[in-house]
């Protein structure tokens, strides 16, 4: 489904991704872990099309389609979803109106008929239940005055509405207490199908207790330096990142 | 020659003085015409007109107080409004009682000529400092104005909508509607002012609205400026709080050519409240200038001002917000905020808050910002599949909504929302 080959990206003069290779197949959950500053969030942003980063070489394809050529909106329409680490507050735009626009823009792109108000409401109610979010929250201005947990839940609600083929969760666990974490993880798990894939970007193993990854990759200095299964995450939890750093640094010297 | 319009106006004044209608407000008007004669049209040399140049506007030749040729159908189209309201119709600056629906309860709406002369004489343009010659010019010709007189203890629920119509199908038209609003004790009313033109020549309108608020009075004023591109509009608005009273003024500019709003509010009694909200959505070569003055003349008053601008194309904007807190006006609370978003590299805005505080026990704040749409917000919306254009519109709409949200009248707010929606298409 997703194929990343030798991806290099920089912000201003600083190279942050230095040759990422990653294959993600439908139905899989991949965790990307790594110490602070290793490039995890950059990778998430580059996949979603944030313009602050410049891709200097490499390729990214989703179901055979070159993603790097597409605008952020077209990537979303092709099925990419980025759950933000810091969801933006936008006064004056309600989540409901925003989602109505987004859903219909995506449908239009795919040549589907736009959704009428009744079907939209029905879909919304269904997804609300799935991610345990209250309607009153969705009527309010987007994320404005939301707690950390409410913001993240709203991200997962939007993910449920847009049904992406590739979901990238960028540090979704940051700032969440254990209850909020469970609700968010539950939502993600319920949305999992054999046809979609998830990339979980996280610093800590804790989220992976709830969202069980098929593969775990460790990112360090802009490269994937180690890949394994969920046991690798547990090992990292226990031993920290220093041993991997040492290993990787020894190899590059 | 820029003096031509001035000269022809002065000549016109002298001709009019020989007609019977000239007896009305004769002293006030004579004083005004000499003020105008002395000052002339404002130029960019005047500090208050530094960024708004009337030169091209006044260089044109205009029909002055020309007769109306609107058909009944034209009037119907021009005054269409999805709001249950009283319609007060001016054609080329002249109040037309026959076209207006003025059988309102609790309020009399009459031409200056036939209304209570005492009221007109006592209030209209009374004690105006003619430091802006545009007001003087309007007052000099104010024989065809209208008095909106809200009687004591009356609550006029329906908005009173003043339509300033200009017929520019065959010539440029210079029009000067004059309105006196007197809200008596414990009375309330909503007054809307709308300028609309028909045709493709230039409409140059210099309007003056003088509002007087007595004790416990409440006035909501809405200025909705959404006219043709060739409409150059100067609106002078004077609100005088004579007794403890509240005013709520909203100025929304959506389309037009050159627009200049002078909004002066005098808080002349203790415990008055004044709210000033403004929104200007500009594109193309539009120019919108909002000059406001809140004069805190008495203690314990409150004023709150919020103006927002969104400028696209090569449009230009001006915001100048003065707050005066006089020596005696202790315990004043005065707040002001002006926020501008520039959507294009060629758009520009000049914003200047001016606070002059002579009392020592006051709370005042002001802030002015100019920036672009938040790129983080743009990315967020786009990352969810919303196209760049639509994302922009959503954010612009959100900014406009902030001001719209303060419009208290439901039908009016719905109408404005629709107009803004339409404008953003």
Quick: pLDDT tens for A8-35: 999 988 999 999 999 999 999 999 999 8
Cα–Cα distance list, A51 to A71, A89, A219, B345 (Å): 9, 20, 22, 19
Contact A71 B382 (CB under 8 A): yes
| ipTM of the prediction | 0.95
Beta-carbon separation of B385 and A162 below 8 A: yes
Give how far A74 is from chain B: nearest CA, Å: 6
d(C-alpha A146, C-alpha B99), whole Å: 53
| Residue B55 confidence (pLDDT) above 70 | yes
Interatomic CA distance for residues A36 and B80, integer angstroms: 62
pLDDT tens for residues B113-169?
Answer: 888 889 999 999 988 888 889 999 999 999 989 999 999 999 999 999 999 999 999
Q: 3-state secondary structure string, A13-29?
A: CEEEEEEEEEEECCCCE
- Residues B17 and B216: their CA atoms lie apart, in Å, by 39
Q: How far is B379 from chain A (nearest CA, A)?
A: 7
Residues from chain B that touch A99, judged by Cβ atoms under 8 A, are: 384
CA atoms of A233 and A221, how far apart (whole Å): 18
Specify whether the CB–CB gap between B212 and B178 falls below 8 A. no
Q: What is the pLDDT of residues B245-304, one digit of tens each?
A: 999 999 999 999 999 999 999 999 999 999 999 999 999 999 999 999 999 999 999 999
Q: Considering CB atoms only, which of B384, B398, B399 is closest to A102? A: B384
Q: Distance, in angstroms, between B402 CA and closest chain A CA? A: 7
Measured distance CA(A249)–CA(A251) in Å, rounded: 5
Q: Compute the nearest-CA separation of B370 from chain A (Å).
A: 18
E strands within chain A?
2-11, 14-24, 29-33, 54-62, 65-66, 80-83, 90-94, 141-142, 166-170, 197-201, 215-220, 223-228
Q: With 80 as the cut, is the pLDDT of residue B66 above it?
A: no
Instruction: Express each pLDDT in B227-236 by its tens digit.
Output: 999 999 999 9
Q: Which two tokens stand for residue B35?
A: 């003020």
Task: Detail the DSSP E strand segments found in A34-165.
Answer: 54-62, 65-66, 80-83, 90-94, 141-142
B176 near B137, Cβ under 8 Å?
yes
In this complex, is the C-beta atom of B424 within 8 Å of any C-beta atom belonging to chain A?
A: no
CB atoms within 10 A of CB B331: 16
Tokens of B176: 């000067």
Which of B383, B394, B404, B424 should we substitute to test contact with A (largest number of A Cβ atoms within 10 Å)? B383
Smallest CA-to-CA distance from B144 within B229, B22, B326, B327 is with B22
Q: Taking residues B45-74, what's their average pLDDT?
A: 91
CA–CA gap between residue A50 and residue A63 (Å, rounded): 20
Q: Which of residues 132-151 of A touch B (CB under 8 A)?
A: 141
The reply to whether A50 touches chain B by the CB within 8 Å rule is yes
Look at residue B256 and give its three-state secondary structure: coil
Average pLDDT of the segment spanning B365-371: 94
Q: How confident is the model at residue B244 (pLDDT cuts 50, 70, 90)?
A: very high
Long-range CB contacts (< 8 A, 24+ apart) of B112-119? B112/B24, B112/B25, B112/B142, B112/B143, B112/B144, B112/B145, B112/B146, B112/B147, B112/B178, B112/B180, B113/B21, B113/B24, B113/B143, B113/B144, B115/B146, B115/B147, B115/B149, B116/B147, B116/B149, B117/B24, B119/B147, B119/B149, B119/B180, B119/B182
- A101 vs B397: CB contact, 8 Å cut-off? no
Q: Chain B, 363-392: which have a CB under 8 Å from a chain A CB?
A: 374, 376-377, 379-388, 390-391
- Rounded CA-CA distance B94/B141 in Å is 10
Q: Let me know: does B103 contact B179? Beta carbons within 8 Å.
A: no
* Chain A residues within 8 A of B397 when measuring between CB atoms: 92-93
Give Cβ neighbours of residue B159 (< 8 Å, ≥ 6 apart).
Answer: B83, B85, B86, B190, B191, B192, B222, B409, B412
A67 CB within 8 Å of a chain B CB: no
- Smallest CA–CA distance, residue A112 to chain B, in Å, is 14
Check if B406 contacts A (Cβ < 8 Å): no
* Closest by Cβ to A82, choosing from B381, B383, B390: B383
DSSP element (H, E) containing B341: strand B332-342
pLDDT for B394-411, tens place per residue?
Answer: 999 888 888 998 999 999
Only one residue has tokens 């990419």, namely A80
| Total count of residues recorded for chain A | 253
- Residue B162 CA to residue B160 CA, distance in Å, equals 7
End-to-end CA gap in chain B: 40
Q: Which residues of A touch B383 (CB under 8 A)?
A: 48-50, 72-73, 75-76, 81-82, 84
Interface contact flag, A50 B380, Cβ < 8 Å: no
Determine the Cα–Cα distance for residues B78 and B198; give it in Å rounded to an integer. Answer: 8
SS3 A250: helix
Contact check, Cβ <8 Å, B402/A91 = yes
Of B376, B388, B394, the CB nearest to A88: B376
**Residues A32/A200, Cβ–Cβ less than 8 Å:** yes
Residue A104 in contact with residue A111, Cβ under 8 Å?
Answer: no
Predicted TM-score of the model (pTM): 0.87
Q: What is the pLDDT of residue A131?
A: 86
What pLDDT score does B1 carry?
Answer: 41
For range B351-371, the mean pLDDT: 95
pLDDT digits (tens, 9 = 90+) for A79-126: 999 999 999 999 888 999 999 999 999 999 999 999 999 999 999 999
Please check whether residue A112 touches B, CB under 8 A.
no
* Cβ proximity of B294 and B267 under 8 Å: yes
Report the distance separating Cα B20 and Cα B30, nearest Å: 15
Of the candidates B376, B383, B394, the beta carbon closest to that of A101 is on: B394
Q: Do B384 and A162 touch (CB under 8 A)?
A: yes
Residue to mutate among A88, A115, A139, A168, with most B CBs inside 10 A, is A88
Reading the block at residue B423, the tokens are 């404008």
């Amino acid at each position: 489904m997703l194929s990343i080959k030798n991806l290099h990206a920089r912000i201003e003069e600083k190279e942050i991704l230095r040759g990422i290779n990653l294959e993600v197949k439908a139905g899989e959950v991949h965790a990307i872990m790594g110490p602070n500053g290793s490039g995890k969030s950059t990778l998430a942003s580059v996949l979603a099309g944030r313009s602050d980063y410049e891709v200097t070489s490499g390729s990214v394809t989703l179901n055979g389609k070159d993603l790097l050529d597409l605008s952020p909106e077209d990537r979303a329409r092709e099925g990419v979803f980025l759950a933000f680490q810091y969801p933006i507050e936008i006064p004056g735009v309600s989540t409901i109106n925003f989602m109505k626009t987004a859903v219909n823009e995506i449908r239009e792109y795919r040549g589907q008929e736009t959704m009428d108000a009744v079907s939209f409401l029905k879909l919304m109610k269904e997804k609300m239940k799935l991610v345990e979010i209250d309607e009153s929250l969705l009527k309010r201005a987007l994320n404005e005055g939301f707690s950390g947990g409410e913001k993240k839940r709203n991200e997962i609600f939007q993910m449920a509405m847009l049904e992406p083929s590739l979901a990238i969760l960028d540090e979704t666990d940051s700032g969440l207490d254990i209850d909020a974490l469970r609700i968010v993880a539950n939502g993600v798990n319920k949305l999992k199908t054999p046809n979609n894939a998830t990339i979980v970007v996280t610093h800590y193993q804790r989220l992976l207790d709830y969202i069980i990854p098929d593969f775990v990759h460790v990112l360090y200095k802009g490269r994937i330096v180690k890949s394994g299964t969920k046991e690798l995450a547990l090992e990292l939890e226990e031993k920290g990142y220093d041993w991997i750093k040492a290993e990787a640094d020894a190899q590059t010297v | 020659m820029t003096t031509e319009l001035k000269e022809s106006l002065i000549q016109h004044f002298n001709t009019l003085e020989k007609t019977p209608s000239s007896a009305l407000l004769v002293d006030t008007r004579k004083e005004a015409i000499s003020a105008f004669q002395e000052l002339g049209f404002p130029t960019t040399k005047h500090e208050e007109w530094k960024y708004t140049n009337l030169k091209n506007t006044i260089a044109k030749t205009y029909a002055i107080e020309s007769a109306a040729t609107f058909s009944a159908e034209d009037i119907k189209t021009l005054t269409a409004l999805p709001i249950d309201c009283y319609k007060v119709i001016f054609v080329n600056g002249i109040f037309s009682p026959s076209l207006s629906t003025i059988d309102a309860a609790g309020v009399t709406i009459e031409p200056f000529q036939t209304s209570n002369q005492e009221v007109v004489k006592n209030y209209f343009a009374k004690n105006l400092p003619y430091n802006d010659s545009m007001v003087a010019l309007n007052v000099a010709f104010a024989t065809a104005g209208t008095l909106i007189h809200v009687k004591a203890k009356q609550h006029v629920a329906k908005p009173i909508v003043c339509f300033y119509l200009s017929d520019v199908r065959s010539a440029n038209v210079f029009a000067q509607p004059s309105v006196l609003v007197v809200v008596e004790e414990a009375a309330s009313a909503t007054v809307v002012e709308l300028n609309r033109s028909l045709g493709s020549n230039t409409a140059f309108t210099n309007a003056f609205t003088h509002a007087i608020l007595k004790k416990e009075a409440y006035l909501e004023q809405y200025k909705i400026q959404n006219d043709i591109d060739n409409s150059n509009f100067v609106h002078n608005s004077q609100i005088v709080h004579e007794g403890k009273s509240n005013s709520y003024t909203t100025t929304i500019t959506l389309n037009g050519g050159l627009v200049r709003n002078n909004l002066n509010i005098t808080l002349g009694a203790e415990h008055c409240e004044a709210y000033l909200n403004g929104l200007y959505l500009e594109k193309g070569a539009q120019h919108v200038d909002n000059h406001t003055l809140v004069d805190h003349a008495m203690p314990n008053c409150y004023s709150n001002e919020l103006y927002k601008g969104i400028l696209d194309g090569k449009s230009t904007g001006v915001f100048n917000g003065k707050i005066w807190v006089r020596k005696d006006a202790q315990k004043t609370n005065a707040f002001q905020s002006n926020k501008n978003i520039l959507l294009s590299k060629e758009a520009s805005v000049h914003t200047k808050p001016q606070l002059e505080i002579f009392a020592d026990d006051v709370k005042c704040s002001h802030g002015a910002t100019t920036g672009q749409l938040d790129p983080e917000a743009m990315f967020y919306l786009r990352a969810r599949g919303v196209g760049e254009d639509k994302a922009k519109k959503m954010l612009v709409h959100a900014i406009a909504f902030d001001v719209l949200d303060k419009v208290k009248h439901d039908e009016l707010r719905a109408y404005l929302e629709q107009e803004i929606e339409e404008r953003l298409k």
